[in-house]
Amino acid sequence: MKKLVKLAQGAVAAGAFLLSFGVMAAPGHGAGHGGGHDAVAAIGKPGNPAKVSRTVVVDMTDAMRFTPDKIDVKAGETIRFKVTNSGKIRHEMVLGTKADLDSHYQMMLNDPGMRHEEPNSVSLEAGKAGDIVWTFDKAGTVAFACLEPGHYPAGMKGAVSVK
C-alpha cells in the first residue's frame, strides 16, 4: 500500500509539473519532464545544426564542475555545445532559467531515475559525449546545471551571458 501511495504521489507531482508548462513529455522520455513554450522562449530555442555559429566545448567532472562555467554569446547566435562527461558517474547539462532549474531539481530528488531528452539538455554516462544545439535569441542570462541528485547544490552549474 505504501508503494502505491508513493507511486501516486510521484505521478501527481509529475502531472502538476507538466501542466505548469502546458505540455506533455515527449515520447520515450522519463515521466515528469516537460518544457513548455514559455519556458523555452525565455532561454531561446532549439538550434538548426546546419546554422551553427560556433562550437563551445564543455567538460563535466566528478568534482561537480563544468569547464567552462561562464560562457559569452551574442544574441542571435546558434551554439553547438560539445559536452563531455570526463567523470566516472552520470552527469547532465540542462539549459534553463534559474527558477526552472531550481524547481526541476526538486523533482529530480523525488525521481532520480528521470532522464532528460529535450533539445535544451544532454544526459551522459561516464566517458560519453553529446551535443546541445541552441539559438540564443535575446539578451540576458541563461543558466545551466546538472540536475542529478546532489550535483546542483554541490555547485555543478554555470551561466551563458547573452549580449
For residue 153, pLDDT beyond 80:
yes
Q: Which residues contact 15 (CB under 8 A, 6 or more apart)?
A: none
For residue 4, pLDDT beyond 80:
no
Question: What's at 100, amino acid-wise?
Answer: D
Residue with cell 526552472: 100
Show the beta-strand stretches assigned E in the chain.
Answer: 45-46, 54-61, 65-67, 70-73, 78-85, 91-96, 121-124, 129-135, 140-145, 157-162
Q: Are 38 and 129 in contact (CB under 8 A)?
A: no
DSSP per residue, 145-156: E--STTTTTTT-
pLDDT digits (tens, 9 = 90+) for 55-80: 999 999 999 999 999 999 999 999 99
Segment 143-156 shows an average pLDDT of 96
